[in-house]
Amino acid sequence: MGSIFFFLCLTILILSCQRKPSLNPRERGIAHRIKKIRSLEALVERVDTVYLSAPDSILIDYDVIVLLSDSSIIIANRIEKNLVFFSRDGRFICVVGRRGEGPGEFQDIVCASLSGDRIYVYDIRLQRVSVFRMDGSFDRAFRVDDPFLIRHMAVSSNGQVYFHHVPSERYPGFVSVLDSSGRVRKVLLGPKDWSYKAYFERGLLDGGIQLSKDNVLFETNTYSYKISKAYPNGMTEEFGQEPENYRGLPRITPDKIETPEQLHNLTGKSSIVMPDFFLLSESGLLLQDILDPLSEYSNPTLWYYVYDTSGAFLGRIEPQVLLAEHNGYFVGYYLKYGSPKYGMAEQRIPFDIILYKEKRFE
């Protein structure tokens, strides 16, 4: 009888330890709002539509990175190999860069980031980061010795560059931190499961990184629904709410992925963390984009899972097309019809910018 009582108490203790932490009043209020509204409107409000205006010689495609500063909208134009500067009200300012290998030129723009009054652009083919001032003038460039399949970047206020990449033997983590000269100073967030190495070798990585104003790093990736949090002092932790019907990537040996079709078949039925990953600077919330292939709907469904930066899960909302966040504003876009580059329509700029103001939650 005593042993039964002991195991009963042990079971209760284990279950209590697994219980989700209770939300504080602020978090409960946000969670209630998310449950009620179930869309991005729970967290932001639309404040303006910016109609981009540029000469007919300027072509912007769909494959872009949009950066928002206090005074400008900068579009990293991947296909055209340049940066296009607009004012916050949509007036064309200038074009910077072109296809080439010289200073300020590009071959293959992968990611870009703002830090203070500098714009950082990573080119994987040239294996370098180019830095520009906010007026479009070229500042400097530094080489990245090994591209290690970089996907995303963030830059701290002191010029340290954080690269999100596929783990490798030389860089055994999802994040490398470089100094202002391009030297790797440390590698963070090594994978807990190297049985995914077959995917690493093929460059599979979605998700993203975000850096807070006090240089706390948040990272999410394809291989888990968890979000990792790394502090400047080296401490790390992770948190995350497992999605309903979550299916992680199957663990396989390298010989199981010989063609793109095989890779697609393996990933097509898995719950994948997608590239959109946002840190709302006004409210201190994180939006993590997850593809649910087995949703209650007939087709795969995308959801933003919403967390407080402390790790509390607050609910999920339906996503919208968002491109950037800066100092309390979100950037989305309003699609026009077609693009002349593909012979579809008359628009040379296929979208206009929508600005959303983030809500503050006290």
**pLDDT higher than 70, residue 344:** no
Residue 17 has pLDDT above 70, yes or no: no
Q: What are phi and psi of 344, to 5 degrees?
A: -105, -35
Rounded distance between C-alpha atoms, residue 113 and residue 156, angstroms: 10
Among 293, 289, 282, 295, CA closest to 322 = 289
Question: Residue 93 domain-assigned?
Answer: no
Residue 9 tokens, joined:
């108490």
Band (18; pLDDT cuts 50, 70, 90): very low
Q: Give the structural domain span for 345.
A: 22-51+144-358
- Asked if the structure places residue 312 within a domain, the reply is yes
What kind and span of H or E run contains 211?
strand 207-211
Could you count the other beta carbons within 10 Å of the beta carbon of residue 117?
12
More confident residue, 47 or 264: 47
- Asked if the model's pLDDT at residue 284 lies above 90, the reply is yes
C-alpha–C-alpha distance, residues 176 and 184, integer Å: 7
Average pLDDT over residues 146-170: 90
pLDDT higher than threshold 60 for residue 86:
yes
318 in a structural domain: yes
- What's the full length of the chain, in residues? 362
**Between 194 and 299, where is the model more confident?**
194
> At 332, which CATH number?
2.120.10
Amino acid at 235: M
Contacts 24+ apart (CB under 8 A), 156-165: 156/115, 156/211, 156/215, 157/115, 157/116, 157/213, 157/215, 159/115, 159/118, 160/185, 161/120, 161/129, 162/209, 162/211, 162/217, 163/122, 164/205, 164/207, 164/208, 164/209, 164/219, 164/221, 165/205
pLDDT band at 346 (very low <50, low <70, confident <90, very high): low
Share of the chain above pLDDT 90, in %: 60
Strand, coil or helix: what is 101? coil
Q: Answer yes or no: is 125 within a domain.
A: no
Is 294 among the domain residues?
A: yes
Question: 205 CB contacts (<8 Å, ≥6 apart)?
Answer: 149, 151, 164, 165, 166, 174, 221, 222
- Structural domain tally of the chain? 1
- pLDDT tens-digit map of 313-329: 999 998 888 889 998 99
Residue 14 scores a pLDDT above 70 = no
- pLDDT for 248 beyond 70: yes
- Between CA 65 and CA 323 the distance in angstroms is 7
Q: Does 78 or 292 have the greater pLDDT score?
A: 78
Q: Looking at residue 300, what is its pLDDT?
A: 66
Residue 16 has pLDDT above 50, yes or no: no
Beta-bridge partners for 86: 73, 92
Query: Environment class of residue 185 by beta-carbon count within 10 Å: exposed (0-12), middle (13-18) or buried (19+)?
Result: exposed
Q: What is the mean pLDDT of the chain?
A: 87
Domain presence at residue 133: no
- Find out whether 270 and 290 touch, Cβ atoms under 8 Å: no
Q: State the average pLDDT over residues 287-296.
A: 78
Q: What's the rounded Cα separation, in Å, for the pair 36 and 31?
A: 9
Here the tokens at position 243 are 């999605």
Instruction: Answer yes or no: is 101 within a domain.
Output: no
The answer to whether residue 116 sits within a structural domain is no
56 versus 228: the higher-pLDDT residue is 228
In our burial notation (b when 16+ CB lie closer than 10 A, e otherwise), range 244-265 reads eeeeebeeeeeeebeeeeebee
